[in-house]
């Protein structure tokens, strides 16, 4: 166990129940009870559906019957993939907390256990205990996947129930995973985002606003300087843990065979990588998806995507990512979260990818979908305002949010100039903030002229943002300006960052041809010298999404010339799988 991690000795605890852990303790066994206070009230029948005799008969072909006795624990949080269909007797589902447990529901004959984690083969989040003697049908993960892939009626019933159960657990804020943090700590925000985007239920306690947190810190023998602290499953205290440590503690990843050579490894689980994972797995390929952070990529940080086809009222990036993740898991793609690809070896096939934990995984083909990091402001709270005051695109969608307010555009290149001119069409005032002494060297002359001609664009040279203020929404910006670095405060709630994006290609080990800005060249974008330099030995030309190395593809924002949009990334990730098939058949 690392020095940062401590196991709690439960025997030395006093039994004083804390406010936050006692809320649900005395609920009685009503399957609908836990949903009553949640936004999912009324959806109890979908969350806990009753299987018909005909459906149970179909399920029996995929499981084995097991007699169970009152008090027997069938699963603990962290236990991996299998579901129980109750044939007789009953099973209670409880959420363990630090000192006690909350009853979530009771499964009676015809009802079944399980949630989205079961499909993914990762650790569950609840305890299942037999309440009355009886008999259950046990269905393991592999058979469950066969059912959801082949039986459309049961697939819809299971998938909807699993998703609703997880969402209900998250909204109930009831868990034995506790994050003790502060709104002023970047580490706290990172862990909140990590747990939330992985749809993991946790209790969030803030040292700044909740005096009881200090008592808890004392009880776990940790100091305020140690926060953020994660209490994992009520027994292990992790001080300022990395995402990898939290993922490992909570059993978020499958234990899988690193020696197996996959058909395809997809690196990056943004929209492009998730789409590639869904199409690869649904078409029968053995697919592994690796993700450094959390599935969803940049799109996951968008509060509302309004231009994605089929969602006329918009969809949050988080919801889109969560749906795509479940879809990929339904088809059997293995997704490892908090796993960074550190190094690509292109010299021999199968290709090998070295990971941050020292392991290597191998595959006959690789799809690179690692996207790009937009250059952010170097301020601790900047990421908090993504989509709620800080934007990376200036389209009609963002302009609508600003109305005719004053806005800031940061950057001295053409994209900043275009954004300033566009926003000046609807906003009262556009402040164009540039670090350098002028625009002549970085921006096209026609844009420089148009900016000079527009009365509601103010060019502020040698100016840099030094602080952002606001609660849920950005409300105030402080910048330093001019030769004497004077500090100015402005009540402005919209900042457009047009300072460029950095492709995530530094792990490629120089074996793939890149363009001058580090984006990956594919297909016809490859120059004649790129192929010999990468030792291209095939008679054929590279496929549209294929890089300078045969069988290695690039899709989405990381690809040179790609359209930096969700729909484009999804389209590229889906389409490239046909080319992967062609290469696998060579």
Ligand X SMILES: Cc1cc2nc3c(=O)[nH]c(=O)nc-3n(C[C@H](O)[C@H](O)[C@H](O)COP(=O)(O)OP(=O)(O)OC[C@H]3O[C@@H](n4cnc5c(N)ncnc54)[C@H](O)[C@@H]3O)c2cc1C
User: Residues interacting with ligand X, by CB under 6 A?
Assistant: 267-273, 290-293, 297-299, 301-302, 305, 307, 340-341, 369-372, 374, 386-387, 392, 504, 507, 556-557, 564-567, 569
Least distance from ligand X to the Cβ atom of residue 109, Å: 43
Cα-based angle 255, 257, 260 (whole degrees, multiple of 5):
155
- Which is closer to ligand X, CB of 232 or CB of 372? 372
Pairing of strands 261-267, 229-232: unpaired
- Which is closer to ligand X, CB of 109 or CB of 470? 470
- Which is closer to ligand X, CB of 279 or CB of 507? 507
- Which is closer to ligand X, CB of 87 or CB of 342? 342
Least distance from ligand X to the Cβ atom of residue 377, Å: 13
Least distance from ligand X to the Cβ atom of residue 403, Å: 18
Least distance from ligand X to the Cβ atom of residue 515, Å: 16
* Residue 105 burial (CB count, 10 A): 25
Least distance from ligand X to the Cβ atom of residue 456, Å: 25
CA distance 425 to 566: 26
Cis ω before 411 (30° cut-off from 0):
no
- Which is closer to ligand X, CB of 485 or CB of 506? 506
Least distance from ligand X to the Cβ atom of residue 327, Å: 15
Can you spell out the DSSP letters for 326-376? Answer: HHHHHTT-EEEET--EEEEE-SSSSEEEEETTS-EEEEEEEEE---EEEPP
- For residue 212, CA distances in Å to 46, 187, 205, 208 come to 37, 21, 9, 10
- Which is closer to ligand X, CB of 95 or CB of 198? 198
CA distance 169 to 114: 12
- Which is closer to ligand X, CB of 78 or CB of 354? 354
Q: Going along 53-202, which residue ranges are E strands?
A: 64-68, 73-75, 82-96, 101-107, 127-140, 178-181
SS3 at position 67: strand
Specify the DSSP class assigned to residue 50: P
- Which is closer to ligand X, CB of 241 or CB of 270? 270
Tell me the two tokens of residue 48.
């806990």
CA distance 26 to 103: 8
Q: Answer positive or negative: Cα dihedral of 252, 254, 255, 256.
A: negative
Least distance from ligand X to the Cβ atom of residue 543, Å: 18
Least distance from ligand X to the Cβ atom of residue 368, Å: 9
- Which is closer to ligand X, CB of 34 or CB of 340? 340
Least distance from ligand X to the Cβ atom of residue 116, Å: 19
- Which is closer to ligand X, CB of 55 or CB of 298? 298
Residue listed under structure tokens 């989405």: 556
Choose among 160, 165, 196: nearest CA to 296. 196
Cα-based angle 198, 200, 204 (whole degrees, multiple of 5):
115
CA distance 534 to 521: 12
**To which H or E segment does residue 414 belong?**
helix 414-424
Least distance from ligand X to the Cβ atom of residue 62, Å: 34
């Amino acid at each position: 166990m690392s020095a940062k991690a401590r196991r709690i000795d439960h025997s030395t605890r006093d039994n004083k129940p804390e406010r936050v852990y006692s809320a649900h303790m005395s609920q009685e066994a009503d399957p609908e009870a836990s949903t009553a206070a949640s936004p999912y009230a009324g959806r109890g029948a979908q969350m806990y559906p009753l299987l018909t005799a005909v459906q149970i008969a179909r399920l029996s072909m995929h499981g084995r019957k097991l007699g169970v006795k009152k008090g027997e624990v069938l699963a603990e949080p962290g236990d991996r993939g299998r579901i129980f269909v109750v044939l007789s007797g009953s099973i209670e589902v409880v959420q363990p907390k630090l000192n006690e447990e909350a009853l979530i529901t009771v499964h009676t004959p015809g009802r079944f256990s399980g949630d989205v984690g079961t499909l993914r083969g990762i650790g569950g989040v609840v305890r299942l205990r037999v309440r009355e003697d009886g008999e259950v049908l046990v269905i393991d993960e592999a058979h469950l996947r066969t059912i959801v892939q082949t039986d459309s009626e049961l697939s819809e019933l299971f998938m909807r129930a699993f998703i609703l159960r997880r969402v209900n657990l998250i909204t109930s804020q009831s868990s034995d995973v506790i994050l003790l943090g502060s709104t002023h700590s970047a580490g706290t925000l990172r862990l909140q985002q990590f747990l939330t985007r992985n749809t993991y239920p946790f209790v969030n306690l803030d040292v700044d606003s909740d005096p009881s947190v200090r008592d808890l810190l004392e009880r776990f023998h940790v100091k305020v300087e140690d926060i953020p602290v994660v209490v994992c499953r009520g027994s292990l205290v992790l001080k300022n843990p990395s995402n990898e440590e939290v993922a490992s503690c909570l059993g978020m990843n499958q234990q899988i065979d690193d020696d197996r050579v996959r058909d395809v490894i997809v690196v990056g689980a943004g929209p492009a990588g998730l789409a590639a994972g869904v199409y690869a797995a649904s078409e029968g390929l053995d697919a592994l998806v690796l993700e450094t952070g959390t599935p969803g990529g940049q799109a996951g940080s968008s509060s509302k995507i309004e231009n994605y086809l089929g969602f006329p009222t918009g969809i949050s990036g988080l919801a889109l990512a969560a749906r795509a993740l479940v879809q990929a898991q339904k088809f059997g793609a293995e997704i490892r979260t908090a796993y960074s690809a550190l190094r690509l070896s292109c010299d021999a096939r199968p290709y090998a990818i070295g990971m941050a934990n020292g392991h290597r995984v191998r595959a006959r083909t690789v799809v690179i979908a690692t996207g790009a990091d937009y250059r952010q402001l170097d301020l601790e709270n900047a990421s908090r305002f993504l989509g709620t005051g800080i934007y990376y695109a200036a389209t009609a969608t963002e302009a609508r949010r600003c109305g005719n307010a004053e806005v800031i555009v940061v950057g001295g290149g053409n994209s900043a100039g275009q954004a300033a001119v566009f926003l000046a069409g609807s906003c009262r005032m556009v402040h164009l903030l540039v670090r350098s002494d002028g625009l002549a060297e970085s921006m096209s002359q026609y844009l420089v002229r148009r900016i000079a001609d527009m009365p509601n664009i103010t060019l502020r040279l040698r100016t840099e943002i030094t602080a952002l203020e606001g609660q849920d929404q950005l409300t105030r910006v402080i910048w330093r300006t001019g030769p004497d670095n004077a500090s100015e405060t402005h009540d402005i709630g919209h900042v457009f960052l047009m300072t460029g994006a950095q492709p995530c290609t530094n792990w490629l080990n120089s074996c793939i041809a890149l363009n001058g800005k580090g984006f990956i060249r594919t297909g016809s974008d490859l120059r004649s010298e790129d192929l010999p330099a990468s030792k291209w030995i095939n008679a054929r030309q590279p496929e549209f999404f294929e890089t300078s190395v045969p069988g290695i593809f690039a899709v989405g924002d990381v690809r040179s010339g790609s359209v930096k949009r969700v729909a484009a990334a999804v389209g590229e990730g889906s389409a490239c799988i046909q080319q992967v098939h062609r290469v696998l058949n060579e």
